[in-house]
Amino acid sequence: MKVIMIDDNNDVIKLLALVDTCIRASSDSDEITNILAMIKTLIPFQAITVAIDTNEEFSLTAKQQIFTQDLSDEWQDIYFQRKFYNHDPVLAAILNTASAVDWRTASNEAKYVSADFTNISQKYVGQDGISILVKTNIGSTILSLVMAEGSIQPQYYKLLEYIAPHVHEVFNRQGDNQRNRLRMPKLSTRELEVISCGKEGNNNADISTQLSISERTVKFHFSNIFTKLGVKNRSQAVATAIRYGLILA
């Protein structure tokens, strides 16, 4: 159990309220925004990034993995365009520890940091920040906080280590940013109609009649659905579509 020394009773109340909010929250964007605002009352960051992955071993390759607040859109575009995730010293550092890591330490201890990354990152986010990675068998989550120069207090590390697992769990729940929707296959409107009919146990002839399309077209749509969902039969397709939230159970 992590021990957090908080001298201010108001901060204790804020922390308990934040944890309670995380426990109750869905992954809808407005609730995530509220949680980040509550974190800011405890750790006064300038900007924050939350990045999620469906894998326990985190990898960052797509912008849809991140949720940000007060972070420059230009910096995000540059980060992905130049594939800075391949040589970000902070990202490399947090992959090897469950503790919060400060950016200056990560940069100083890195074997190599490109001048390009150093110069551009300093321009947009500076040198001071704290990041942490939480990983479980259902996925991983990064919280990365941009801090004002010289503003990092010792208690912020323990606070972030306590808060991060609760934020991690929020992304496992139903909502806009649910973790298992991250790599959700895209089915067309017609494909969704076909698999919804199939869920009810209808055969191809029934589906053909309900949707006013030929049986051949029904078979064509199921073939595409199987490919997109990576399954071999209709029952697997229905189960997978429900798991992704594409259709209701």
Q: What is the pLDDT of residues 1-53, one digit of tens each?
A: 455 656 678 889 999 999 999 999 999 999 999 999 999 999 999 999 999 99
pLDDT band at 206 (very low <50, low <70, confident <90, very high): very high
DSSP string, 207-226: HHHHHT--HHHHHHHHHHHH
CA distance 58 to 142: 9
Q: Which residue, 217, 221, 249, 248, is CA-closest to 234?
A: 221
Mean pLDDT calculated for residue range 138-151: 96
Mean pLDDT calculated for residue range 100-104: 97
| pTM, entire model | 0.77
The CA-CA-CA angle for residues 152, 146, 174, to 5°, reads 115
Check residue 85 and report its DSSP letter: G
pLDDT for 50: 96
Q: Which residue, 45, 122, 62, 56, is CA-closest to 89?
A: 122
Mean pLDDT calculated for residue range 149-156: 95
Tell me the pLDDT of the chain averaged across its residues. Answer: 92
Q: Is the pLDDT of residue 165 over 80?
A: yes
Q: Is the pLDDT of residue 60 over 90?
A: no
Burial (0-12, 13-18, 19+ Cβ within 10 Å), 228 = middle
Mean pLDDT calculated for residue range 85-113: 94
Of 4-8, 40-44, 136-140, 143-147, minimum mean pLDDT range? 4-8
107 to 2, 78, 161: CA distances (angstroms): 26, 19, 20
Q: Is the pLDDT of residue 128 over 50?
A: yes
pLDDT for 1: 46
Mean pLDDT calculated for residue range 181-204: 90
Task: Tell me if 152 sits within 8 A of 128, measured CB to CB.
Answer: yes
pLDDT for 248: 85
